[in-house]
Structures are given as structure tokens and as C-alpha cells.
Structure 1
């Protein structure tokens, strides 16, 4: 809302034509490097807070082993999947998203679910969440979404009003909002939640054929959740309950594990899918695209030093090994740049030489030189340019991806499909009566703190999902006590 007729500009004072839509090649094509508005917005956002992570600041990690149990070599040439029984070292980091360091790790929020596979072709980073979807599908809106989850710029505490203000004006968020405000928004620690790659990725096989893929990691401990009252009470007793639970389980030899599955979609199926298959606010229904079992990973070793191994761990969706690649998912395309850029700011340009981040099953042989905190041999006396008649590493054609066709005008083309509610309705309808009751209760306790305009706008979105949902939330808010005024400091 703009009552002052102010014009939004970039840092150079140049007017910004659109602050919500990235520039792409056609509706489903990749994003363009020439979109300076997006790049500047992301780059500035990545540097807003020091020294903790901008998001996912609170977390825990552990080492383990991934074991292949089923043959998928017809789909991918990635070496870690090359034979049944093959094992690969992994490092996992779980995290909350919104709160800053010092906060609780069991409050209602999404959870980060990041895996680093130390393969002989280099590190594959599977950087996902504990839900298969997200609140927004265009990266131009991501920075604004995260700010709505952080502290108020003046008062410096988190307001329920801020996130409902954003969600009520972003109808594509409704699917993820229902996940967050239901049971799945408060998992009982890291061990009892699933993980998802969330984005659409692709597999490349030995015939250089591409197939679209989604990654799923199902907890073998079973999904368990806190109620709203339980996590609120527990964070007052032990705010790092999830971190403590994971650490102690591993120390006691009760090693947690997850089973990896994939969903597969051909390009022909993608062209005929009823939803945009690269839209991060959508899932691929399991009935149409069933889960295929791949393997299992187990966490069996705690880090020796939290700062060195967990705090300095750096994951990037840009780290894909031969046989695994990306898709035109707009959010994924932006994350390829954004994550590594954030690490260079937070940890330094040589962050990938830190032991937890460097390859373990092969040797990095990069063209990169110098920079802050270079502590390895800096490639010794090897010639530092290419091409050259001197000794220099050769490129590997095996890492080359097959081409895929893109077309369209270079413009800010909005993903304007008005299908925000189909999958949200499918998700809502699958909840049982007890799950729905908790969902109404959780929403009412938070949304009820907002002014009427935000409530009204959010209720319109709820009604588009289900009239019952809106009606029950209204009833729950009416029965709830109004929020008590915050105490004022005593005067002397």
C-alpha cells in the first residue's frame, strides 16, 4: 500500500519496474543473468545480517552413511548410486528457518533439511526442508517473505501480524501456510520429521538423457509432532530440545535413519501436467508419480566441535555432481547463486576449503586462487591461468548436461496460474478431524492477534480452500480470549 506516491528504486535511485516477478525466458524457462533488479536484491539480502546465517541460524548436525538399496542406474549416472550396497559418507544439518541464534529449536516453523554427500565426483548438497513445498515461487518475493518472519525493524521482536500481513496478500502461500500451522509445523525434534528436496531437479543417465526428479527422505523413527501447548511449554524448559535429543540419541547408539525415495517425471509428462511441474508451491501427487525407493542414510557420529563442523557447514544447491542437475524452477535457479554468495560473505571466499565443506572422497582441483583466509597450498606453483602450454587440469565432458529447449520473450513474466487452492484443498481434505481441530486452534491463536483487514484478507484465501476452514477458524477466534496488552515498564 502506498499513500505517499513514492517510487521504489534500486540502490542507484533507478526506478524498479516490478518487485515481485523475475525476468525469465518464457513462462517456464530459466531466469536471466541480466535481471539486475533480482541480483541486487538477492546480493543485498545475503549481506543483511552478520555473522550468523540470514536464515536457518539455529541448527544441529551429524555425520553418517548413505547406503544404496535399489538400482536406479537407468535414470542417473551419478556414481554414488552406481551399485546396490554402495556406501557414501554424509553430513546432515537440520535447522529452524526464521529465528536468530539464541532462540528455540522447537517453535512452530519450517525446518531445514540439508545433506552433504561426499562422493568420489565431489560433494552433492541436497538442500531442502521438512515440507515438499514453500510459501513463494518467484525469488523476487523471497527476501520480503523472510523479513516478514524476522524482527520488526523498529520494535525488534517478531509480530504475528507481519507474517499474516504478507501471507494474506500472497495467495500462492496458502498451501504452505496450512502445512505450517498444522501438526507438521512443530515436529518433535529433528529425528521425527521427513526431508524433501522440495524443488524439481533432474537426473542425467549414461545415454545423456534427462528426466525430472523430486527427492524424499522419510524418517524411519516415524513422524511425531508437538501440540501448540507442548512446544510452548518445552521451549521454556529446554529451548534446544531438538538438538539435545539428536545428540544424545547418537551418543547412546540409537542411530536415526531416513529412507530415500524419488519421484520421476518425463519431459512429455511435464508438458501435460495439470500444474506447472517447476512451481515450488506445488507437489507431484503420489498417485500419478509414485515413490521409488533408492536407499537409506543413518547418522552415527556427532561432531567433535560445533563451531568448526556445524556452524561453518555450508550447503549450496549449486553443488550437483555428474548425473544430477537442476530444472527451470525459478526459486531453485536463484538459490544456485544465492547460497554460495551468502557463504562467501559469512565464511569468506574460501569457505569450501573448511574441512567440513571440502570433498572427502576426492581432491578439489579448482582454478581459484588467493582470497581471504586461504590456508591450503593455494595450488602451489601451478600456472594460474588457462589455456596454457604448462601442466593444467583437463575439463571433464562427463559433467556436461544435455541441452533442453527454451523459448520466449525476455520479460518479467508472472507465473499467473490461478491454481493456488487446488492442492491446498487436497491437503486440507486429507486431514482427519483431530488434525483439523488443531489446525483451527493454531491459526486462531496467531491470526487472531491481527487487525481486521488482515483477518478478512486471509479469510478470503481460506474460503477458497474450504468454507469449513474459514468458518471453523472464525469460531475458534471468537471463543479465544483477546490478547492481553503487553505490560508497560514500571515508572520510578
Structure 2
């Protein structure tokens, strides 16, 4: 059979695909332009010991391609793992939300989920003491809905102007390129609102045993709107069915040396073995009229809504049952955005959310390109009909010969749908750089104090030890400033940290930033 003949053969994944075969009857190796490759082990030279020839197009194509095969690394959430699955509605919530994928119990929607470490680089250990990203793309019949969350219900800051500075403080020192405890604690000790997230991160939950053994949260407040236009504020929760399991500081440090990709491997193996990761999808629901009266600003990302005030309401079940075929094509090129809404789900005045509505898609445009939505892992299952055209790497028909403007006078072209209005009420007022509502009334220490008092004695001991081990690498004046925040939070917490810190300073135990 010659090189241009077609045949059916296995691609190594037990899936039938059309392939070209060579004279050996085996799949043919080609250049990117499709020309047959005669020898992929030896470059073209003048004699056996002569110089390479520039006309060896295959050699230079491979080298040039290698130079460009990495897309820019995510600034945050760089190291991740992902899998495919489905979401199934288990409770009727059509009275609260008109989104079609939530229309009735039993309805299933395909999903792709990506888990990640937030501050670490792509090659870092899975066992870092860090927040974990928990993003889910729902491929619905009305377009993609992305839930871009974390494994914690709160965050470090409440205003997006602080976010770039926070990220810089968590990254590497600009001089040494090493992790910097001074920067870490200097920033946080000047931002008291970080206390709630800080206490969670340094508790045992700061190092989840696996991605299966942690909860996920939408974290932000969102709005659900039903068919009658009635709206509620909501928060999303994904409660693991595998139980919460965490690693101690010692376990994490040990595993980082022997199995730095521990969580990634666990996700892959658990799915291969049929032990599918699963979560119960729940919401907290707040009537709109409750928001101004609630004790805490319900749009402040550093605060939670107490479950006794707004209990969890079951909605459905998320199951991951299929591993990816190619990491780069699926996990690395996956792009999520909290701005990917479907009718019935809208944004809230949460300041961090409002900023992220732009930032996430903009990051994808930089990393992957203008047409990142056309990448298969990001492509909606419904036909996209838009007047947006051109840009780098167009892989669709680019709208063909149809007009690329609206309004136009031609039939059978996309038209606006007045039955799907954007319902976004806004408060009027003076334009200025205001602190958030209830800023002066809110106590940034009350919720972390409640968390500390809820911890078991064992969890308190681990939390104190983790904080003391980490903060001892910071300058003395920064340590003291942070201790002042701990004292405002809880006297017992502060005294325990001070005692443990004194012990750590005398100990020959090496300082570690990993966990």
C-alpha cells in the first residue's frame, strides 16, 4: 500500500480513526505539511561526518516547533489537572433559576473540571500549602457556564486593586527568585481582611490529600433569576462525597520529595479504577431584600454566609468519569471565566467578581489567542453565531462570506433575542473610590475567630505549628505586626503561635516553605 492510501487503524487509545499508512502498512510519519518523513533519526548531512544542510526542512521544523510548543504559563493556577464528567440535577430548582440545564431532576450536562494550585508554578509540587483552584465548565444547550472557584469559600482580599499586589507577594523575590516569607507576611500583616483565608490555609485544610477529598466553592455571590424574573442571591458549594482528608505538614514535605505530582496521579488513577470523584452540588439562597440587612456585606469575598442563616440546598451531583487524552490540548488550553453566563445566572456587585469578569477572558486571549473559544475543550456544544471575526489561529469557517456587521439587511443571519434581557439593576450614587459597604461596621476578625473556636484541639495544634513554621522566615517587625492581628482575632490563637514560634526559633529543624 502506498504512502497516500487511507486505512482504519488503532491510534493507541482503542479508538478507530482514519490514518495514512506507508509501504510497511503501518501509520505514516509526516511533516506538519503532510509530506512523508523517510528517516526521523538522522539529519541530512554532507557525508557521514559533514555539515548539516539548511535544506533539511524536517529538522528545522521540529526545532522551531519545539521552541514554540509551550503557551505562556498562567500567572496563577499554573499547575493543574483535569477530567471530564457530567452534572446531573437531583432536585427541582426551576422556581429559583431559569437556566435550562437546571430545568428538571435527572437532566445531565457534560462538564470538564480543572483543579490547580494557585500560587505555584507549573512544575511545582502538588503538596504546597496553598489554595486549590476548582473550576468547572458546564457545556449547556444555552452555551457554556463556567463555575470558577476554589476549595475555600473566602479569599485573601475584597478589592481587585489589591489582587496584583497579593499575587506578587506570593510569588518569588525579584532579586533572589526564591519564595519570600517576608513578602508573604508583609503584605498579609497589612491587610487584616486576609485573616479568614489565612487561618483556613494554615489549618489542616491547607493541604488537601487529593482533589477528590476537598470541597469546591463558587466563593463569590451570584444571582439566580427564574422565568418570572424573580431573583435571589446565591452561593455555590460542591461537597465531596469522598470525605474531607488532609495531609499534615510532615506528610506533605515527605511526599513532595517522592511524589510531587501526588494529587494529579490520584485523579488519573481513581478514574481509571472506576472510583469516580463526585460532589454534591448545593446552593445557599438569600432573598434580595435580605442583603442590605445582613450582618456582613454579602458581596464581600472575605466573608461567608452562615449556614444557620442560609442552609445548603441540594441541586445536583457532579461526577468525573473520564480522563483527558492529551494534557496540553485539554487541561493546559482549558480557559474558564466567571463571565461565561447562561440565562438565569448573573453577576453580583462583588468587587473581585466584577474585575474577574474581564480578567479571565483577557488572560486566555493572551495565553491561547483571540480565538480561544474555538479550541475544542472550550468550544460550546451549541452552534456559535457571532459577528466577531478574524484574529490569529482561526480554525472555524470564520463566518464565510456573510456580513461581519450588525445591524444588516440580510436574512438567515443572527438576530438579537429580546426574550433574554440582561437584568442587572445598579445602585445610583456619587462616583468615587469608596471602601465597600459596611466597611466601618464589619469586623474582619469575627468570622476567623468563629472558625478558630470550631476547630478540634488537633486541628488547632496543626494550624499553630504550620503558621509558626512559616512565619519564622519573616523579619521580626513583620512577625510582630502579624501577631498583633492574631491577638485581635483571638488571644488563645495568638499566645499559642507565640509559644510555638519561640520553640521553632530554637529548633534545628530546617525552615520549609513547601507546606
TM-score by length of 1: 0.87
Q: 188, 208, 214: which is aligned to 1:167?
A: 188
Match of 1:293?
A: 314
Match of 2:276?
A: 255
Deviation at 1:116?
A: 0.2
Match of 2:17?
A: none
Q: Deviations over 1:393-416 (max 9, x none)?
A: 111234323342412210000123
Match of 2:351?
A: 330
CA distance, structure 2, for counterparts of residue 257 and residue 399 of structure 1: 33
Asked if 2 retains the 8 angstrom alpha-carbon contact of 1:67 and 1:87, the reply is yes
Asked if 1 retains the 8 angstrom alpha-carbon contact of 2:389 and 2:404, the reply is yes
Q: Deviations over 1:156-199 (max 9, x none)?
A: 01112211111000000001000000011100011100000000
Report the 3-state secondary structure (helix = DSSP H, G, I; strand = E; otherwise coil) of the residue aligned with 1:92: strand
1:369 and 2:389 are equivalent in the alignment: yes
Matches within 5 A, 1:179-198: 179-198=200-219
Asked if 1 retains the 8 angstrom alpha-carbon contact of 2:235 and 2:283, the reply is yes
Q: Which runs of 5+ in 2 are unaligned?
A: 1-69
Match of 1:31?
A: none
Q: Deviations over 1:73-113 (max 9, x none)?
A: 00100001000100000000000000111111121100000
1:450 and 2:474 are equivalent in the alignment: yes
Asked if 2 retains the 8 angstrom alpha-carbon contact of 1:209 and 1:402, the reply is no
Q: Which runs of 5+ in 1 are unaligned?
A: 1-48, 488-492
Match of 1:386?
A: 406
Q: 300, 317, 342: which is aligned to 1:279?
A: 300
Deviation at 1:480?
A: 1.4
Q: CA 1:293/1:118 → structure 2, altered by over 3 Å: closer, same or farther?
A: same
1:427 and 2:447 are equivalent in the alignment: no
1:470 and 2:494 are equivalent in the alignment: yes
Asked if 2 retains the 8 angstrom alpha-carbon contact of 1:369 and 1:378, the reply is yes
Match of 1:40?
A: none
Match of 2:428?
A: 407
How many residues align? The count is 438
Q: CA 1:266/1:478 → structure 2, altered by over 3 Å: closer, same or farther?
A: same
Asked if 2 retains the 8 angstrom alpha-carbon contact of 1:106 and 1:189, the reply is no
CA distance, structure 1, for counterparts of residue 160 and residue 506 of structure 2: 36
Q: Deviations over 1:38-89 (max 9, x none)?
A: xxxxxxxxxxx97100100000000001100001000100001000100000
Match of 2:243?
A: 222
Q: 254, 258, 263: which is aligned to 1:233?
A: 254
Deviation at 1:452?
A: 1.4
Report the 3-state secondary structure (helix = DSSP H, G, I; strand = E; otherwise coil) of the residue aligned with 2:120: coil
CA distance, structure 1, for counterparts of residue 269 and residue 71 of structure 2: 30
- Backbone CA RMSD of aligned residues: 1.5
TM-score by length of 2: 0.83
Report the 3-state secondary structure (helix = DSSP H, G, I; strand = E; otherwise coil) of the residue aligned with 1:167: helix
Structure exhibiting the larger radius of gyration computed from Cα positions: 2
CA distance, structure 1, for counterparts of residue 253 and residue 419 of structure 2: 51
Asked if 2 retains the 8 angstrom alpha-carbon contact of 1:131 and 1:198, the reply is yes
CA distance, structure 2, for counterparts of residue 428 and residue 398 of structure 1: 49
Asked if 1 retains the 8 angstrom alpha-carbon contact of 2:84 and 2:111, the reply is yes
Q: CA 1:485/1:445 → structure 2, altered by over 3 Å: closer, same or farther?
A: closer
Match of 2:65?
A: none
Matches within 5 A, 1:29-428: 51-360=72-381, 362-391=382-411, 392-415=413-436, 416-417=439-440, 418-428=442-452
CA distance, structure 2, for counterparts of residue 153 and residue 77 of structure 1: 49
Q: CA 1:204/1:311 → structure 2, altered by over 3 Å: closer, same or farther?
A: same
Asked if 2 retains the 8 angstrom alpha-carbon contact of 1:208 and 1:401, the reply is no
Deviation at 1:486?
A: 9.6
Report the 3-state secondary structure (helix = DSSP H, G, I; strand = E; otherwise coil) of the residue aligned with 1:176: helix
CA distance, structure 2, for counterparts of residue 446 and residue 295 of structure 1: 39
Report the 3-state secondary structure (helix = DSSP H, G, I; strand = E; otherwise coil) of the residue aligned with 2:224: strand
Report the 3-state secondary structure (helix = DSSP H, G, I; strand = E; otherwise coil) of the residue aligned with 2:295: coil
Q: Deviations over 1:324-347 (max 9, x none)?
A: 010000000000000000000000
CA distance, structure 2, for counterparts of residue 327 and residue 182 of structure 1: 29
Match of 1:480?
A: 504
Report the 3-state secondary structure (helix = DSSP H, G, I; strand = E; otherwise coil) of the residue aligned with 1:411: coil
Q: Deviations over 1:117-141 (max 9, x none)?
A: 0000000000000000000000000
CA distance, structure 2, for counterparts of residue 68 and residue 237 of structure 1: 40
Match of 1:35?
A: none
Match of 2:485?
A: 461
